[in-house]
Structure 1
Amino acid sequence: MSTINIGINLQDREHIANHLKRLLADSYTLYLQTHNFHWNVTGSQFRELHLMFEEHYNELALAVDEIAERIRTLGFAAPGTYRAFVELSSIEEVEGVPEAGKMIEILNQSHETLVRTSREALKAAQAADDESSAALISDRMRVHEKTAWMLRALRD
């Protein structure tokens, strides 16, 4: 592969890529969590939650591709195994099938975790003057903040 000369030195690109790997792992873990809840939600809010969770996991499916491609653009391999995601992710796996209200609470917490992960990654991108990564991360942060707000609004 030829040398990457995009105005960001190797050390900074690696630092940003490592943050993006955590963002990717959290995003993929949340994708799986949301898809699981989409399949298994029951109760009086079934239709609303089933459809909402589907919207969320579809949006996350696109997001993980963008994040992985940015890691590759910076010159590093994107993680792509469950083992790598477990090691990198800040989001805990859920045991069993929680009731709908607990699903909402768990997803809210996971989206808020992604906001925090995004904030750390954004600092690294901004410090290296990496506007492309910063824009991607900022967009992701905005999506997760809004989704967390919407999930909080569902609580009884």
Structure 2
Amino acid sequence: MKTNIGITKENRQKTTDILSKVLADEFVLYTKTLRAHWNLEGHDFHTKHLFFEEHYNAIKKFADGVAERIRQIGHYAPGTMGDFLKLTHLTEKYEGENTSLGYSAALLEDHDAIIQFIRENISKVEEEYEDVGTGDFLTGLMQEHEEMAWMLRATIAKA
């Protein structure tokens, strides 16, 4: 059935293009956070193992929310690793040490990149594409990433 939510087909597509990039970034970040959880070593293993688990569970929910938002505005979400790797702004590679500081610094860069991308696109989605609902959704998502970035930044500063 045709999506008739008061946003033109063209604007819904432009919004979907942005959301698809956010979804790809979320999935890559989820995978990298899992890696940190699985491969972490060091004196702070237990606490950081749980910390990264909390983060990847939250990021998994973020990704699901982005995919559902894409569906709500009448499009299909990308869903293959190939799609995600073509769309992401992040690198999937990590060549640092398996320490909490190494992983935290790398993950912080990714959260900051996601925050910047979302911030650059919120007003475009709301004003140019006339999708205040997605703008509001992106604002909430950005705030979640800001909180996670703050936690990672505080972890690094503590060392």
What TM-score does the superposition give when structure 1 sets the normalisation length? Answer: 0.93
Query: How far, CA to CA, are the matches of 1:78 and 1:8 in structure 2?
Result: 18
Q: Deviations over 1:109-136 (max 9, x none)?
A: 0100110121133123212331221121
Aligned to 1:138: 139
| SS of equivalent to 1:6 | coil
Aligned to 1:40: 39
Aligned to 1:61: 60
Specify the code of the residue in structure 1 equivalent to 2:125. Answer: A
Alignment of 1:1-156 (within 5 A): 2-95=1-94, 98-100=97-99, 101-127=101-127, 128-155=129-156, 156=159
Q: 1:25 touches 1:86 (CA, 8 Å); kept in 2?
A: yes
Q: CA deviation at 1:55?
A: 0.5
Stretches of structure 2 that go unaligned for 5 or more consecutive residues are: none
Q: 1:26 touches 1:85 (CA, 8 Å); kept in 2?
A: yes
What root-mean-square deviation, in Å, do the aligned CA atoms of Structure 1 and Structure 2 show?
1.3
Aligned structure 1 segments of 4 or more residues deviating by more than 6 angstroms: none
Query: How far, CA to CA, are the matches of 1:35 and 1:9 in structure 2?
Result: 38
Q: CA deviation at 1:96?
A: 5.2
Query: How far, CA to CA, are the matches of 1:44 and 1:87 in structure 2?
Result: 37
Q: 1:24 touches 1:67 (CA, 8 Å); kept in 2?
A: yes
Stretches of structure 1 that go unaligned for 5 or more consecutive residues are: none
Sequence identity percentage? 34
| SS of equivalent to 1:42 | coil
